[in-house]
Chains A and B, each alone.
Chain A
């Protein structure tokens, strides 16, 4: 059951959800829906990887289930966990019953705490599953995901295999802090998201910052693009250029020149060395 008929329909739907997708992104999202394969979105921080998943959910009218990855994430936090306390209460309440019947009782779905992955699989309505910053989990934990991503099923020893009632659209994001395993990458459609072109960034600014004059948006997009060319430690992200646009709008500034940029540059750049470098290029005295 597919959501969309063509990539351009995907783009329109995403745009209505507040996300301006370029043709590449639209095509990959369309493929993910058609081929029922997860998307692995990789790219620098702040280019809208997570926002893409949120937008897909909104555009497709689906619920978003989010699994935030972190170091030390394990089965109990990602898949499911038995509710020990409830099981214990059950055993105490039923004291004296034969073990065989009791065992059958306490290992049922009533005693299962669902975690994001199981929740996504067992949901009656199709969902969008976002596995955020998958590069943060250890290599070994990655393997947990494979069964879900491959066959959309989860095996619970006591209950057997639970198949997905509906196919979720899965989006994984990675900030590229480490190489993901081949096994994981092979199962995904790889989407490398980079900084948008100046034209697209202008459109994003116009869509996200109400009341922004088009001329100013064009200018902001160009300046930000130029700053990204510098060898800085942390290039300004799309979300930072949106912040900058809001700042300039709030300050009532209509034209961006070197002076204005120098005064407000700390919205865009977060390291002192980067700021100094940018100021030198702008011809302003550092500090």
Chain B
């Protein structure tokens, strides 16, 4: 047990969950007071001692399933699986599908509709043994088998079938919505059973360490923003609001206690009365913070849109640190989009509204930095003053059009500071149509921002008005 625990902790650390020595020891002593046969109690004990951040809970759960999922398999289920294995292995395996899969699918729908969890689990096992075609020793990731099972089952129609199976009980919109959600939840429970079963099989074959390695997914703050999957985007959406709030609290705290302002003569003398008029404790006025104006220029073409959204969201969360925030979006044309982002707005919605309402595409919808910057300076040039901090977000891929670096130089000359956020790994800058090095020298700093972690760090830096060394 201790051996498995050690490699489990190792794996958590590999993924990036910080687990200290003390916490690992706590976990071991917690297990002394845990009923090891009860998987949820076991999971709770490890989670309470090893994971101290709500953002890491999902990662912990996934890793836990790999390492300790097997222990959940009751013996009767195992027999059924082995039996199924023999059957599945003989008739070509690859053929799969056919009438068998259809019948299985019907059974699954029926079990989900009636809410019989044990039946669902058994059927999920059957589906995996008959349809996944797992071959021992083949180093194929679990996701491959998962999609294979789902495809052969025709599982994309699962939600619809479930909706049909539960039948109509009135056309109240609330009823309709609840019914749809129930179907979603049921479908997800089946998917997760299949996923767990596949993981269990793979672990049996290769051991938990190897499987964990192939399934390893980054912590949400390390997810590559540009290439995030739909599931990762959902995770990002869930954490960005609390993250922004924490950032705002931290900044407020930092600014309040940072420097102190000028001597407050009135309060100092008043305070001195306590000490018979001796000036013991000087009082200071709160510091006067000079708030710069923030101007955001965001490339919102294609994959840049997600990145732009997170940047906007994080920036607006701390907008009270700036005297004013104005935002502009561009593809090959540019338009002011400040009006879409008010307090309390849902950013995903706002970005959709913005794409519908603002005219960002003037020609063919491929980003054109030269043209966009040209019309920005032309239409909004006087917005940029010596008090403005300008942030441009984009990959600097101008589709081989005229880059016009002199426009960036002009922008940098007018602004207090100009930053460029590039969501691509810096290894890819200047490859293909990227012209980062033409723009870079004019910026106060060019920052690679691929993850939420890096984005947060940058926004904090800007809000604290740290001076940056101009890049050579």
Interface residues, chain A, CB within 8 Å of chain B? 6-7, 23-24, 27-28, 30-31, 34-35, 37, 40, 42-43, 138-139, 176-179, 182, 185-186, 188-192, 222-223, 225-226, 229, 231, 233, 256-258, 261, 271, 273, 277, 281-284
Chain A interface: which of B19-27, B430-438, B442-450? B19-27
Per-position binary interface string of chain B over residues 24-53, scored 1 when its CB falls under 8 Å from any chain A CB and 0 otherwise: 001001100111001011011101110111
* Closest Cβ neighbor of A177 among chain B residues: B249
| 25 cross-chain CB contacts under 8 A | A23-B38, A23-B41, A24-B40, A28-B44, A28-B45, A31-B45, A31-B48, A31-B49, A34-B33, A176-B242, A178-B253, A179-B246, A185-B52, A186-B20, A188-B52, A190-B51, A191-B48, A192-B57, A225-B181, A256-B174, A257-B170, A257-B172, A257-B174, A273-B346, A282-B174
Per-position binary interface string of chain B over residues 248-266, scored 1 when its CB falls under 8 Å from any chain A CB and 0 otherwise: 0110010001000000000
* Closest Cβ neighbor of A277 among chain B residues: B346
Q: Bin chain B's interface residue count.
A: 35 or more
Number of A-B contacts defined by CB within 8 Å: 110
Is B86 an interface residue when CB atoms closer than 8 A count as contact? no
Contact of A178 among B44, B53, B246, B345 (CB under 8 A): B246
Is there an interface contact between B54 and A42, defined as CB atoms closer than 8 Å?
yes
* Closest Cβ neighbor of B29 among chain A residues: A35
Q: A226-B178, A281-B177, A282-B173 are in contact. Are A178 and B249 (CB under 8 A)?
A: yes
Is there an interface contact between A231 and B174, defined as CB atoms closer than 8 Å?
no
Shortest beta-carbon distance from A283 to chain B in Å? 3
Contact of A35 among B20, B22, B26, B173 (CB under 8 A): B26
Is B175 an interface residue when CB atoms closer than 8 A count as contact? yes
Is there an interface contact between A231 and B178, defined as CB atoms closer than 8 Å?
no
Is there an interface contact between A178 and B250, defined as CB atoms closer than 8 Å?
yes
Which residues on B sit within 8 Å (CB–CB) of A257? 170, 172, 174-175
Shortest beta-carbon distance from A282 to chain B in Å? 6
Shortest beta-carbon distance from A254 to chain B in Å? 14
Q: A27-B45, A37-B26, A190-B51 are in contact. Are A258 and B174 (CB under 8 A)?
A: yes
Contact of A271 among B29, B48, B344 (CB under 8 A): B344
Q: How far is the CA of A31 from the CA of B45 in the complex (A)?
A: 8
Q: A138-B253, A191-B48 are in contact. Are A223 and B20 (CB under 8 A)?
A: no
Is B279 an interface residue when CB atoms closer than 8 A count as contact? no
Which residues on A sit within 8 Å (CB–CB) of B345? 273
* Closest Cβ neighbor of A197 among chain B residues: B185
Is there an interface contact between A35 and B30, defined as CB atoms closer than 8 Å?
yes
Q: How far is the CA of A258 from the CA of B33 in the complex (A)?
A: 48
